[in-house]
Amino acid sequence: MKLGRAALALLLLAPCVVRAVEPISLGLALAGVLTGYISYPRLYCYFAECCGQRRSLSREALQKDLDNRLFGQHLAKKVILNAVTGFLSNPKPKKPLTLSLHGWTGTGKNFVSKIIAENIYEGGLNSDYVHLFVATLHFPHASNVTLYKDQLQLWIRGNVSACARSIFIFDEMDKMPAGLIDAIKPFLDYYDVVDEVSYQRAIFIFLSNAGAERIMDVALDFWRSGRSREDIRLKDMEQALSVSVFNNRNSGFWHSSLIARNLIDYFVPFLPLEYKHLKMCVRVEMESRGYEVDEDIVTRVADEMTFFPKEERVFSDKGCKTVFTKLDYYLD
C-alpha cells in the first residue's frame, strides 16, 4: 500500500519516455523514468510523499490537538508537548526521541501516537515514514526471537537510511517476547553513527499496558485522600513506573537494556479515566460524525460503561475504547 503513491508518480512521469520504448527495452525506459525522478525530485514529490516534505511542527497546533482530543491526561499532554516540540526544534539531537506510554486500554496511548504522527507528516499513520509494529501480529512466536531481532534491525536501518526523521511505533509492548526489543539498543544510544547510519533524528514510541496497576494505585490514592488528579506530578510515579515495567516478566521491557542504560527519555503514565471523561469522548465522537450533541444520549452511553474498584466505581475499566460502538446503538 505504501508504494502506491510512488508508483503513481512513476506512471505519471512515464509519458515522457514513451517514444523511447520502441527502440529500447521497457526496462531501460523505466530506468529513464527513474533517472528523471532523481533529476527532478520536486516534480516527483508533487505526486508522491517525500521525506523532506514533513510538516513544520507547530507547538500551538499540537497543543490544540491534545487539548481537544485527549481527555483526563494532564501529565501525558505536558510531557508529549514539551518532548516532541523540543526534540524537533533541536538541529543536532544527541540521540533519538524515545517515549514509553503506559496505562490501561482506552486511556489514549494509541491516540497520542496518532496525533504525533499527524502533526509531523500529513499522512499521519499512513505516511511512508511512520512505521507501526504490533507485537501479536509481527512478533507472535517467542521461539523466533533471533529471527525477529535480525529483521527488526534491518527494517529500522533501511527506513532510517531512506528518511532520518522516521517514526517507529511499537504497540503491545507487554505482549512482545522478552529480549527482542534489546535488538534496537544501538539505535537508541548516544552514537553519532551506527554502521554508517545516524539515528539521532528518529522517533521511537512504545505503547504498553504494563505498569497500569501502579498508575491506578497512585490515582486511587489521590482520589481517596480528596486530592485532585490534576495534582499528580510525573515525579509521583515515573521512577516507580520504570522499575515496575523493568521487573515485570510479562513485559517486553523485562530486564531490558533500554531501561538499564537509561535510553527511554520519558515514561509517560496515562491515568485511568473517570465518568466525566467518558462523556467528553462521547461528545467529540458525536460532533465528528456530524451530529448535534445530545446530552441525554451522552449520559446514557456513559452510564452503560463499567467502573472499578467495585465498591467505589471511580475509574472506567475500558476507558473510551468501547464508547464509540455503544454510541452506534443510540444514533441508529
Assess whether 188 and 287 both reside in one domain.
Answer: no
Query: Is residue 169 in a domain?
Result: yes
**Per-residue pLDDT tens digits of the chain, which is 332 residues long:** 454 454 444 444 444 433 344 444 555 555 554 455 555 556 667 777 888 777 788 999 999 999 999 999 999 999 999 999 999 999 999 999 999 999 999 999 999 999 999 999 999 999 999 999 999 999 999 999 999 999 999 999 999 999 999 999 999 999 999 999 999 999 999 999 999 999 999 999 999 999 999 999 999 999 999 999 999 999 888 888 999 999 988 789 999 999 999 999 999 999 999 999 999 999 999 999 999 999 999 999 999 999 999 889 999 999 999 998 999 998 86
**End position of a domain, from candidates 245, 270, 295:** 270
110 is in an annotated binding site: yes
**What is the number of domains present in the chain?**
3
Distance between CA 272 and CA 107 in Å, rounded? 6
146 is in an annotated binding site: no
109 is in an annotated binding site: yes
Query: Is residue 54 in a domain?
Result: no
User: Angle of helix 295-303 relative to helix 275-288, nearest 10 degrees?
Assistant: 130
Q: Which residues of 10-49 are buried (b: 16+ CB within 10 A; e: fewer)?
A: beebeeebeeeeeeeeeeebeebbeebbeeeeeebeebbb
3-class state of residue 318 by DSSP: coil
Assess whether 160 and 70 both reside in one domain.
Answer: yes
Assess whether 66 and 207 both reside in one domain.
Answer: yes
Assess whether 194 and 297 both reside in one domain.
Answer: no
Assess whether 70 and 93 both reside in one domain.
Answer: yes
Query: Is residue 245 in a domain?
Result: yes
**End position of a domain, from candidates 270, 289, 322:** 270
**Grid cell for residue 139:** 512478533
Residue 148: alpha-carbon gap to chain centroid: 21
Assess whether 173 and 287 both reside in one domain.
Answer: no
What is residue 56's predicted lDDT score, i.e. its pLDDT? 84
The parent domain of residue 258 ranges over 59-270
Assess whether 301 and 230 both reside in one domain.
Answer: no
Assess whether 194 and 74 both reside in one domain.
Answer: yes
**Grid cell for residue 123:** 499522512
Kindly tell me the burial class for residue 60, based on how many C-beta atoms sit within 10 Å of its own C-beta (0-12, 13-18, 19 or more).
exposed
Query: Is residue 77 in a domain?
Result: yes
Query: Is residue 109 in a domain?
Result: yes
Q: What is the CATH number of the domain that holds 200?
A: 3.40.50.300
**Grid cell for residue 178:** 522478552
**End position of a domain, from candidates 270, 288, 306:** 270
155 is in an annotated binding site: no
What is residue 18's predicted lDDT score, i.e. its pLDDT? 39
Query: Is residue 53 in a domain?
Result: no
What predicted TM-score, i.e. pTM, was given to this entire model? 0.86
179 is in an annotated binding site: no
What is residue 311's predicted lDDT score, i.e. its pLDDT? 87
Assess whether 72 and 43 both reside in one domain.
Answer: no
**Which residues lie closer than 8 Å to 174 by C-beta, 6 or more apart?**
135, 208, 209, 210, 248, 250, 251, 252
Assess whether 104 and 151 both reside in one domain.
Answer: yes
107 is in an annotated binding site: yes
105 is in an annotated binding site: yes
**Grid cell for residue 31:** 530506468
**Which residues lie closer than 8 Å to 85 by C-beta, 6 or more apart?**
57, 59, 62
Assess whether 131 and 232 both reside in one domain.
Answer: yes
Number of H helices, E strands in the chain: 15, 7
Assess whether 126 and 250 both reside in one domain.
Answer: yes
